[in-house]
């Protein structure tokens, strides 16, 4: 039983926004809530839930807003709306079964509008009736769109003319044309007027900015045009020319080929249609269509089809002065331009270059980066260094921006597996000469391989392989030493150790400061390598650090610090060592004593001699004397 | 009434599918359910020539009309059908028990689909062929069908984001190459098969066939022909990936979606590169360049040059059209060749916004645009290959008979080989016979639609040796 809308509308409260804009999910839930209330109560408008739903539906972010129907519920922009209320699903499914494809809410709906809508969801409403029934009840805040209308245009039409125009958006232009011919007069002039007016009216329904919709509309009408008899087409053609001041009509004419226009033109006598020349002149000047001379320069006494055949035959039978046929010539030139098998690499590289540039211009590097990286990695894995070089070259070209190159190298980092990395390590450890296969890969490796080599080195058990990997890492690090810095904070001591070793050979002076913390690392092996690295990098603070390490808890570190101090120049080192021999910590004192042995200065030798000649029988003094004498023996020239 | 009959078909199919799973394909109950399915289909077809059931977006369609209530009532079954990869079912009377059974088995995941011809899944009738038919034409049709399947499979991989390979595509291209060597005329005739609903797939296979034929004429080595054939077959693959997203979008396209459409050459090339084995990468160049023009216009704007010089040299003239590129052109050999085949098939196919043109008209367009949109040498070679009346052209003679061109004449001045398909009274000829005629005997060309006959339909009834 339909509810009395009038009574409820009069009681309707004001519909201003009382909260923030509602999300699509909230709007759909509100619809579901309203429908659920509608099914439960005789007078749902008196229910709080219904009022709340109406209030929510009045708080859409913008109007109109649209939701589509589907078997699983409502959709927005093609995506299913995650509604919580079963009522939403029921409304959606029922509308779907009634042939309603979408609901446009053009204004905050009143309670009466919602009741009218829900009334239609009952079993009495037949398919394809819902839209008209809702409109007949005077509901304007909600519009229902059936499937044909959804395909035909944005704005749901209100009258039959627009409905028919919208129906043209379906794939049945023949049906539309037949309907037109059977509706009333089938005289060409009458049909032409109806056709052109329909077309012009439909054109008004499409947004000027809606290029897609405009194209669909024009194409659909042109298709329908093609189904008409010749006399009707000629009449439409003439009317379009007469109304050529309207841009949509010239757009229609622009779709016809030169041949079609020529065929139609012939129906207007030997001189053709009086307005056609003007259309062609304007179209040619405005660039709307090329002046199709082949169609215009035709002999009107012969069928056009025959003339086309003659034109084709003329081309094929043409010969040059030597009597060589056109086909023979063409095939000879094609044969001369056949791709050389050896050119394939270059062609692929060219293609990649083009794709990279285009992707960079579009800001869409992800896809091509992934493809490029997988091809490079694949070539490396297959041992095809030449191909890998070709692909790599495209990424290293000056035209590729640093940011894009980083993206590419990041993708390559992700794509390279162990076999590919092995190939990279080989060319790094034994760099090929310029121009040899793998040379480009070797040059590019520091850009992507440092992290991979660090990890591979960490995972490698075989000593022989580790040596090669470390060498590769050192080579790579010379070009990208900064890439190693993050690894200095790794939890794994051997990773830190390897990074320290590689940094030490990088000759990158700025690395020195980063190596101070590893010089105090918890693992003695790291501390030893850090000290060595600092010594290689000529760190100004190396001396201080080395002297500090004389007091290291581990004897190997103490010994190495001493050894490194032996070759260190600079003022005060001897004095520091001599002072250290007096350290209360015996191990420090012994280390300092041993370090003095590595020194070749007079001061150091004198101090060492004094320690070695001291009269001592027990304890610390005796130990120091022994250490001094050992140092003298070890370094006696 | 149709809806009730459609519901009967769906009910019968669902029951039969369930019985296959419960009792197996040869159980009495299953057989009975299959018989009911065939009968229901015949009932739905009625006195029509055939019907098409389609499934998309969880909705069932009958001849393009959505069956909303049925889709809801049988939603789970519709999803089963879609999960089986079935998008369309074309049924023509009388529906055979074997085909109905095969359809049921396909939905139940137990079989490869009908081959008898009364039911065609995901395709037009023109390529249906019986499994035990080993005639050359049947083998050719199977090669065509396998090409469509390979293309659909690749397209699905692209859309679903699965890692694709070119293995299947390469295999079907090689098969087509072999078949076109065995029977070049029949292969060209088969390339006239069209499908409105699966335009992209059929167009791609046809383009590949035409490209392979032209490639052979140019002397391209066989290995390169295969790569070119792959490129031709997949040239529009980027559009498959884009089209679904665009088609599923309910409203107007926004700027981003338009940009996506214009990126489909790039997307297609990426998909092919991802899938290509070493040596096959150049297939991607066809996808990348298929909207670029010979004179450098079109899209994408090709920003690389490999320095190849066009054999015509600067300022060369050909068919009255100068070159716009001053002798340098960026398009690859493969792209220039495929562009001609691509356009020829596109022009001769009816689209929703344009009717199909005759084969001669298609040649005329190519010749008119030679030097601008297309490489003039490839246009000439293609026109020579197809002849002034390309295979599949229907001609009305002065006697009133209608003949169909089956193969071009080697001599451009001579008439092609043709068979009679309509006698002087306009009646269909059951066994087309070769006929000789001269240019003077030709009244006009006749379109397939006007005849109600497609060139490929005549293949099986052609006399041997034609």
pLDDT number for residue A449: 92
Per-range mean pLDDT, top range of A49-53, A69-73, A278-282: A49-53
* A136-175 residues touching B, CB cutoff 8 A: 147, 150, 154, 171-172
- How far is the alpha carbon of B71 from chain A, nearest alpha carbon, in Å? 8
Q: For residue B250, which residues of chain A lie inside 8 Å, CB to CB?
A: 68, 75, 77-78, 101-102, 150
Q: A41 is written with which tokens?
A: 């109560």
How confident is the model over B356-370, as a mean pLDDT? 81
Q: Does A287 touch chain B (CB under 8 A)?
A: no
More confident residue, B52 or B297: B52
Whether this model's ipTM surpasses 0.85 comes out as no
pLDDT category of residue A532 using cuts at 50, 70 and 90 = very high
Domain that holds residue A77: 5-152
Q: Does B132 touch chain A (CB under 8 A)?
A: no
B68 to A211: CB separation less than 8 angstroms, yes or no: no
- Is B36 inside any structural domain? yes
Least confident of A177-186, A598-607, B111-120, B179-188: A177-186
B98 and B189 housed in the same domain: no
Has residue B32 got a pLDDT over 80?
yes
Q: For residue A303, which residues of chain B lie inside 8 Å, CB to CB?
A: 444
* pLDDT digit string, tens, across residues B148-194: 888 878 877 877 777 778 988 999 999 998 888 888 888 888 888 77
Q: Which of A313, A335, A363 marks a domain boundary? A: A313
* Helix-then-strand count for chain A, H and E: 35, 5
How confident is the model over A237-246, as a mean pLDDT? 86
Cross-chain CB nearest to B219 (options A338, A347, A351): A338
Q: How many residues does chain A have?
A: 637
Has residue A154 got a pLDDT over 70?
no
- Is A113 inside any structural domain? yes
A55 and A173 housed in the same domain: no
- Is A89 inside any structural domain? yes
- How far is the alpha carbon of B44 from chain A, nearest alpha carbon, in Å? 20
A77 to B251: CB separation less than 8 angstroms, yes or no: yes
A121 and A219 housed in the same domain: no
CB pairs under 8 A between A and B: 212
Mean model confidence pLDDT for chain A:
81
Q: Does A97 touch chain B (CB under 8 A)?
A: yes
A78 to B279: CB separation less than 8 angstroms, yes or no: no
pLDDT category of residue B112 using cuts at 50, 70 and 90 = low
pLDDT number for residue A526: 95
Q: Does A210 touch chain B (CB under 8 A)?
A: yes
- Is B130 inside any structural domain? no
pLDDT number for residue A129: 79
Least confident of A622-626, B82-86, B93-97, B129-133: B129-133
Has residue A158 got a pLDDT over 70?
no
How confident is the model over A125-136, as a mean pLDDT? 80
pLDDT category of residue B58 using cuts at 50, 70 and 90 = confident
What is the rounded CA–CA span in Å between residue A420 and residue A589?
51
**In total, how many domains does chain A have?**
2
A40 and A137 housed in the same domain: yes
pLDDT number for residue A299: 52
Cross-chain CB nearest to A338 (options B71, B220, B376): B220
How confident is the model over A293-314, as a mean pLDDT? 61
B413 to A317: CB separation less than 8 angstroms, yes or no: yes
B46 and B74 housed in the same domain: yes
Q: Which residues are within 8 A (CB) of A524 and not within 5 positions of it... i.e. 6 or more apart?
A: A552, A553, A554, A556, A557
B311 to A336: CB separation less than 8 angstroms, yes or no: yes
Q: For residue A382, which residues of chain B lie inside 8 Å, CB to CB?
A: 278
pLDDT number for residue A268: 85
* B313-342 residues touching A, CB cutoff 8 A: 319, 332-334
More confident residue, B106 or A322: B106
More confident residue, A370 or B456: A370
pLDDT number for residue A363: 81
Has residue A435 got a pLDDT over 80?
yes
Has residue A13 got a pLDDT over 70?
no
Has residue A296 got a pLDDT over 70?
no
Q: Which of B100, B122, B144 marks a domain boundary? A: B122
More confident residue, A482 or B296: A482
Q: A413 is written with which tokens?
A: 């980092």
Q: Does A306 touch chain B (CB under 8 A)?
A: yes
Kindly list the strands in the beta sheet with B65-66, ordered across the sheet, starting from the edge strand earlier in the chain: B65-66, B59-62, B51-56, B88-91, B119-121
Query: Using N-to-C axis directions, what is the helix angle for A418-429 and A365-381, rounded to 10°?
Result: 70
Per-range mean pLDDT, top range of A202-206, A476-480, A526-530: A526-530
- Is B190 inside any structural domain? yes
pLDDT number for residue B465: 64
Q: How many residues does chain B have?
A: 466
pLDDT number for residue A424: 93
Q: Which residues are within 8 A (CB) of A481 and not within 5 positions of it... i.e. 6 or more apart?
A: A502, A503, A506, A508, A511
Which of A256, A351, A361, A397 is the best substitution to test chain B (most B C-beta atoms within 10 A)?
Answer: A351
How confident is the model over A558-562, as a mean pLDDT? 90
More confident residue, A10 or A525: A525
Has residue A16 got a pLDDT over 70?
no
Cβ burial B217-241 (10 Å sphere, 16+ → b, else e): bbebeeebbbbbbbbbbbbbbbbbb
- Is B192 inside any structural domain? yes
B373 and B420 housed in the same domain: no
Which of A309, A359, A376, A383 is the best substitution to test chain B (most B C-beta atoms within 10 A)?
Answer: A309
pLDDT category of residue B207 using cuts at 50, 70 and 90 = very high
Kindly list the strands in the beta sheet with A142-146, ordered across the sheet, starting from the edge strand earlier in the chain: A79-80, A73-76, A65-70, A100-105, A142-146
A351 to B282: CB separation less than 8 angstroms, yes or no: yes
A137 and A165 housed in the same domain: no
Least confident of A154-163, A184-193, B125-134, B447-456: A154-163
Which of B56, B226, B252 is the best substitution to test chain A (most A C-beta atoms within 10 A)?
Answer: B252
How confident is the model over B311-322, as a mean pLDDT? 29
Q: Which of A124, A152, A180 marks a domain boundary? A: A152
Has residue A229 got a pLDDT over 70?
yes
Q: For residue A102, which residues of chain B lie inside 8 Å, CB to CB?
A: 250
State how beta strands B88-91 and A65-70 pair.
Answer: unpaired
Q: Which of A120, A152, A184 marks a domain boundary? A: A152
- Is A119 inside any structural domain? yes
- How far is the alpha carbon of B200 from chain A, nearest alpha carbon, in Å? 17
A130 and A192 housed in the same domain: no
B231 and B299 housed in the same domain: yes
Mean model confidence pLDDT for chain B:
80
Q: How many CB atoms lie within 10 A of CB A516?
A: 14
Query: Using an 8 Å Cβ cutoff, are A367 and A404 in contact?
Result: no
Residue A83: how many CA atoms within 13 Å on its side-chain side? 28
pLDDT number for residue A110: 92
Q: Does A623 touch chain B (CB under 8 A)?
A: no
Q: Does B47 touch chain A (CB under 8 A)?
A: no
**A416: helix, strand or coil:** coil
Has residue B196 got a pLDDT over 80?
no
Cross-chain CB nearest to A96 (options B68, B282, B363): B68
Q: A306 is written with which tokens?
A: 């025959």
A120 and A200 housed in the same domain: no
- Is A201 inside any structural domain? yes
Has residue B9 got a pLDDT over 90?
yes
Has residue A245 got a pLDDT over 60?
yes
How confident is the model over A549-561, as a mean pLDDT? 91
Q: Which of B83, B100, B122 marks a domain boundary? A: B122
* pLDDT digit string, tens, across residues A462-512: 888 888 898 899 888 888 888 899 999 999 999 999 999 999 988 888 888
A331 to B69: CB separation less than 8 angstroms, yes or no: no
B329 and B194 housed in the same domain: yes
A145 and A167 housed in the same domain: no
**In total, how many domains does chain B have?**
3
Eight-state DSSP code of residue B65: E
Least confident of A1-5, B55-59, B282-286, B307-311: B307-311
What is the rounded CA–CA span in Å between residue A44 and residue A32?
13
Has residue A172 got a pLDDT over 60?
no
A27 and A146 housed in the same domain: yes
Cross-chain CB nearest to A171 (options B64, B278, B445): B64
pLDDT number for residue A210: 59
- How far is the alpha carbon of B376 from chain A, nearest alpha carbon, in Å? 8
Domain that holds residue B363: 136-386
B366 and B278 housed in the same domain: yes
Q: Which of B344, B361, B386 marks a domain boundary? A: B386
A33 and A130 housed in the same domain: yes
Has residue A52 got a pLDDT over 50?
yes
B218 to A313: CB separation less than 8 angstroms, yes or no: no
pLDDT number for residue A7: 35
Q: Which residues are within 8 A (CB) of A51 and not within 5 positions of it... i.e. 6 or more apart?
A: A13, A45, A111
- Is B197 inside any structural domain? yes
More confident residue, B305 or A361: A361
pLDDT category of residue B195 using cuts at 50, 70 and 90 = low
* pLDDT digit string, tens, across residues B397-425: 999 899 999 988 877 678 899 999 988 88
Eight-state DSSP code of residue B348: T
What is the rounded CA–CA span in Å between residue B53 and residue B65?
9
What CATH number does the domain containing B310 carry?
A: 1.10.3210.10
Q: Does A324 touch chain B (CB under 8 A)?
A: no
CA distances from A254 to A169, A276, A308 (A): 20, 12, 21
pLDDT category of residue B39 using cuts at 50, 70 and 90 = very high
A103 and A165 housed in the same domain: no
B86 and B154 housed in the same domain: no
């Amino acid at each position: 039983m339909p509810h009395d809308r009038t009574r409820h509308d009069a009681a309707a409260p004001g519909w201003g926004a009382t909260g923030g804009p509602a999300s699509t999910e909230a709007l759909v839930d509100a619809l579901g809530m309203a429908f659920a209330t509608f099914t439960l109560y005789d007078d749902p408008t008196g229910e709080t839930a219904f009022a709340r739903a109406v209030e929510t539906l009045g708080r859409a972010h913008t109007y109109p807003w649209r939701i589509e129907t589907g078997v699983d519920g409502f959709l927005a922009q093609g995506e299913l709306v995650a509604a919580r209320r079963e009522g939403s699903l029921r409304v959606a499914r029922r509308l779907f079964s009634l042939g309603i494809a979408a609901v446009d809410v053009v204004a905050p709906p009143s309670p009466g509008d919602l009741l009218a809508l829900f009334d239609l969801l009952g079993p009495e409403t037949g398919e394809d009736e819902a839209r008209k029934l809702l409109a007949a009840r005077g509901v304007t805040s909600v519009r229902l769109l059936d499937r044909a209308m959804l395909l035909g245009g944005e704005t749901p039409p209100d009258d039959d003319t627009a409905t028919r125009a919208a129906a043209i958006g379906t794939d049945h232009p023949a049906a539309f044309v037949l309907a037109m011919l059977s509706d009333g007069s089938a005289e060409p002039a009458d049909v032409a007027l109806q056709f052109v007016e329909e077309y012009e009216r439909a054109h008004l329904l499409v947004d000027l900015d809606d290029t897609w919709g405009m194209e669909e509309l024009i194409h659909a009408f042109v298709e329908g045009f093609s189904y008409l008899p010749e006399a009707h087409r000629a009449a439409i053609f003439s009317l379009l020319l007469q109304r050529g001041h309207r841009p949509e009509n010239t757009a229609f004419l622009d779709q016809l080929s030169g041949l079609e226009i020529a065929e139609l033109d012939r129906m207007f006598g030997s001189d053709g249609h009086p307005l056609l020349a003007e259309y062609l002149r304007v179209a040619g000047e405005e660039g709307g269509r090329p002046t199709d001379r082949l169609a215009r320069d035709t002999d009107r006494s012969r069928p056009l089809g025959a003339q086309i055949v003659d034109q084709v035959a003329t081309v094929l039978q043409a010969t040059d002065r030597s009597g060589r046929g056109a086909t023979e010539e063409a095939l000879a030139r094609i044969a001369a331009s056949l791709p050389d098998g050896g050119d394939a690499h270059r062609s692929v590289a060219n293609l990649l270059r083009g794709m990279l540039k285009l992707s960079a211009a579009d800001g869409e590097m992800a896809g091509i980066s992934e493809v490029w990286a997988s091809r490079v990695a694949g070539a490396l894995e297959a041992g095809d260094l030449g191909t890998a070089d070709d692909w790599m070259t495209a990424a290293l070209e000056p035209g590729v921006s640093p940011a894009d190159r980083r993206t590419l190298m990041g993708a390559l980092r992700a794509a390279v597996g162990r076999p590919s990395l092995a190939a990279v390590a080989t060319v790094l450890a034994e760099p090929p000469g310029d121009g040899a296969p793998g040379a480009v890969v070797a040059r590019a490796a520091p850009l992507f391989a440092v992290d991979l080599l660090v990890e591979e080195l960490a995972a490698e058990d075989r000593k022989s392989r580790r040596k090669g990997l470390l060498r590769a890492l050192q080579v790579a690090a010379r070009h990208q030493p900064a890439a190693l810095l993050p690894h200095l904070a790794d939890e794994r001591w051997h990773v830190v150790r390897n990074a320290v070793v590689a940094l030490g050979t990088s000759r990158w002076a700025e690395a020195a400061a980063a190596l101070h913390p590893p010089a105090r690392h918890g693992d003695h092996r790291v501390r030893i390598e850090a000290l060595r690295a600092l010594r290689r990098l000529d760190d100004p603070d190396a001396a201080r650090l080395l002297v500090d390490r004389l007091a290291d808890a581990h004897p190997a570190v103490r010994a190495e610090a001493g050894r490194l101090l032996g070759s260190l120049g600079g003022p005060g080192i001897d004095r520091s060592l001599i002072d250290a021999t007096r350290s209360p910590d015996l191990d420090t004192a012994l280390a300092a004593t041993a370090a003095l042995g590595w020194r070749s200065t007079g001061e150091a030798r004198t101090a060492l001699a004094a320690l070695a000649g001291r009269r001592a029988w027990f304890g610390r003094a005796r130990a120091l004397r022994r250490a001094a004498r050992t140092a003298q023996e070890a370094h006696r020239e | 009434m149709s809806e009730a009959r459609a519901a009967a078909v769906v009910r019968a199919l669902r029951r039969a599918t369930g019985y296959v799973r419960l009792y197996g394909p040869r159980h009495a109950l299953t057989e009975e359910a299959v018989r009911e399915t065939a009968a229901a289909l015949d009932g739905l077809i009625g006195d029509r020539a055939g019907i098409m059931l389609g499934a998309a977006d969880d909705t069932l369609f009958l001849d393009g009309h959505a069956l909303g209530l049925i889709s809801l009532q049988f939603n789970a079954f519709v999803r089963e059908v879609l999960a089986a990869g079935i998008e369309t079912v074309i049924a023509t009377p009388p529906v055979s028990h074997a085909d109905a059974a095969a359809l049921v088995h396909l939905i139940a995941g137990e079989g490869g689909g009908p081959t008898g011809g009364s039911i065609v899944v995901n395709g037009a009738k023109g390529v249906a062929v019986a499994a035990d038919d080993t005639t050359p034409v049947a083998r050719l049709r199977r090669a065509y069908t396998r090409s469509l399947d390979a293309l659909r499979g690749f397209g699905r991989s692209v859309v679903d984001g699965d890692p694709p390979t070119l293995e299947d595509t390469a295999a079907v291209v090689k098969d087509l190459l072999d078949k076109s060597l065995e029977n070049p005329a029949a292969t060209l005739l088969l390339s006239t098969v069209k499908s409105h609903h699966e335009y992209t797939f059929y167009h791609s296979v046809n383009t590949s066939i035409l490209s392979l034929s032209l490639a052979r004429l140019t002397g391209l080595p066989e290995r390169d022909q295969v790569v070119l054939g792959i490129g031709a077959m997949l040239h529009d693959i980027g559009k498959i990936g884009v089209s679904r997203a665009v088609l599923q979008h309910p409203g107007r396209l926004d700027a981003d979606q338009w940009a996506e459409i214009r990126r489909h050459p790039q997307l297609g090339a990426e998909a092919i590169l991802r899938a290509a084995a070493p040596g096959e990468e150049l297939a991607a160049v066809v996808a990348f360049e298929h909207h670029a023009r010979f004179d450098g216009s079109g899209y994408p704007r090709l920003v690389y040059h490999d320095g190849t010089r066009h054999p015509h040299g600067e300022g060369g003239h050909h068919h009255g059209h100068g070159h716009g590129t001053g002798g340098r052109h960026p398009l690859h050999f493969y792209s220039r060749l495929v562009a001609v085949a691509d356009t020829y098939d596109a022009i001769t196919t009816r689209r929703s916004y344009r009717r199909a043109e005759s084969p001669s008209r298609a040649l005329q367009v190519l010749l008119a645009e030679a030097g601008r949109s297309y490489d003039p040498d490839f246009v000439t070679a293609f026109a020579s290959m197809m002849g002034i009346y390309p295979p599949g052209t229907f001609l009305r003679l002065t006697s009133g008979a209608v003949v169909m061109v089956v193969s071009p004449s080697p001599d451009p001045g001579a008439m092609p080989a043709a068979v009679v398909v309509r006698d002087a009274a306009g009646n269909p000829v059951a066994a087309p016979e070769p006929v000789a005629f001269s240019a003077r005997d030709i009244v006009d060309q006749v379109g397939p639609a006007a005849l109600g006959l497609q060139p490929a339909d005549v293949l099986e009834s052609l006399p041997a040796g034609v």
